[in-house]
A and B are shown apart, each in its own frame.
Chain A
Amino acid sequence: MAVTVALFALPAAAQAAPVHLATVSPFVVLGGSTVTNTGPSVLNGDLGVSPGTALVGFGLPAVVNGATHANDAVAAKAQSDLTTAYNVAAGQPVAPANDLTGTDLGNRTLTAGAYRYTSSAQLTGPLTLDAQGDPNAQFVFEIASQLTTASASSVVLINGASPCNVYWQVGSSATLGTTTAFQGNLMALTSISLNNGASVTGRLLARNGQVSLINNVLDASRCATGSGTGDGGPGNGTGGDGTGGRSTTHNGRATMRRAPNQDCTDGFSATVRGHLIERVVFRMDGRLVGNRKSSPFKVFVRASRAGVHRIRARVTFKDATRAKTLRFRYRACAAAVREPRRGPAQLTG
């Protein structure tokens, strides 16, 4: 009997079954009824809605670095796969010790596994998810009703944890507070609302309701190419930002160059080259435009409005070399901003 109990007292990580996003993988935002945006949001990934059709506010200054699917066959199939993934996540077995109902997620460090809230969940401050060196470690949060984050809250991934393998199954709606830095695949039965300046590394997936954005940066590019567990995700095996096993040498170096290197272009590629580079985070005017964990550490940048913009690349290294920030300025011509003017239809058709 004791042996039987011991056999089933597995670590939480071993209990979590893979969640397959399948055709949802390319999407950074998928809504059910509508997806609305206000301000210069940046979406790195596909944007879609189904069965609704409305995608509102995604002209300039918003930028969608991906395809758009307004209730087409692609979005419909993705919604179908989202339902499957949602149900798989909701059905994950949860150890009694992992029932967090009534507690705040903030200021906690959790290891891989499935966690449950039988009512609403709140995140105030940082939540740290520790993969303990396993790049395939999966975290599943089963939340029966709402998920709410306070302003400036964050989800921090360490020791190889990947946002591609973090799943938030929310039974009703989710609201991310101002400047929240969220990570993972947020799957809500109803709606998802982001307040001003919140960022997401992962996906926002609403089954029935709307997704509303206000000046947000959403990045699913790390997870867009599937591998392993369906949606999988690159970047595994690099040790994340963990410090375990890191070399004590200081041999890292990096330089950045841009092409074309002219004063006024309609965009350019910024490339960081060097030695022992682990990760490069590109920002333009403080907003995330690229997060590269493998070579080439390169991003294509195009401003959504004319004028001078500041490009910054934060480089971290695989050894003990201190992280460095590379900077330059870029001036976008007025002609570089794309918003076609109205005109007559006088083409041959």
Chain B
Amino acid sequence: MTLATPRPPRFRWGVSALAVAALTVGMSYGLVAPARAAPSAVPTSQPLVVLLHDHIARTGPSLDARVVGAVGSLRPLTRVRTVLPVLGYADRKSWVQVLLPGRPNGHTGWIRTWQTRRADTQWHIRVRLSARRVIVYRDGLVERRFHAVVGNPWTPTPRGEFFVEEAVALSSQDHGGPFALATSARSEVLQEFDGGPGQIGLHGTDNLPGALGTAASHGCVRVSTSAITWLARRIGSGVRITISR
């Protein structure tokens, strides 16, 4: 069996090629826990895989490997195609390692590339909890910075490597409208919330209290209406979200 990593991403801020290679290879072999990785720079491009069919995720690139879980081809809230960030390929690209949504936060798995389509994105989002900021990168460079509300100390926003599962247009009566980016992260405290699985979102502030720049949410990251509108028109499924302290 051969292991192949995706083409190493180009970094802008002087990260050495050695460090990039170590990180990439390490993640492919599961040596670096993606959920806790906090890269100091942002790659210019992130390979993605679009699921055209339901898939079974396994712990390794083999049918003998243990099953991690099933991944549906459609997302539950809006029924859009599932798009997952790619961490690496194996066995002449017949297997792909991906970040998976849901619990445990940041878990990964291997799926067959059969009934998938390759794509990529130049976007990346970082959330700095201590600064209460959302920083949006495109092509490795900062595109926008937004003030945010983050989780309060009792229901903190989970940290790690996540991705956008789907973008959702909310009604004017909904909390957190007008848009939400439903992420792969789940609350470490709330197993269920408002009929959902404790899913962490990056959304607006409609019908919600709390000033930007505070830690007042149940775990979600809230930004202003103009900010979430800007994001919803640009950020699609599969875009990586790095949440750090």
Contact = CB atoms under 8 A, between A and B. Distances in A.
Interface of A: 59-60, 67-70, 72, 259-260, 262, 264-269, 300, 302, 333, 335-336, 338, 340-349
A-B pairs, 8 with minimum CB distance? A346-B196, A347-B201, A343-B77, A340-B167, A345-B174, A341-B78, A343-B168, A343-B78
Interface residues of B, number: 58
Contacts, number: 137
Interface of B: 44-45, 50, 77-81, 83, 117-123, 138-139, 155, 166-171, 174-177, 179-180, 182, 187, 190, 193-201, 203, 208, 217-220, 226, 229-230, 232-237
Nearest to B139: A269
Contacts of B44: 259
Interface centre among A269, A335, A341, A347 (most CB of B within 10 A): A347
B79 to A, nearest CB: 7
Contact of A340 (B138, B175, B179, B195): B179
B220 A348 contact: yes
B119 A342 contact: no
A268 B218 CA distance: 36
B194 to A, nearest CB: 6
Nearest to B219: A348
A346 B233 contact: no
A340 B190 CA distance: 26
Contact of A333 (B119, B123, B217, B218): B119
Contacts of B168: 340-345
A344 B79 CA distance: 11
Contacts of B155: 348
Nearest to B226: A68
Nearest to A344: B77
11 contacts: A72-B226, A259-B44, A266-B236, A302-B234, A333-B117, A338-B234, A341-B169, A343-B182, A347-B196, A349-B208, A349-B218
Contacts of A59: 233
Nearest to B198: A348
Nearest to A336: B236
Given A259-B45, A346-B197, 4 more contacts: A269-B122, A335-B237, A336-B236, A346-B77
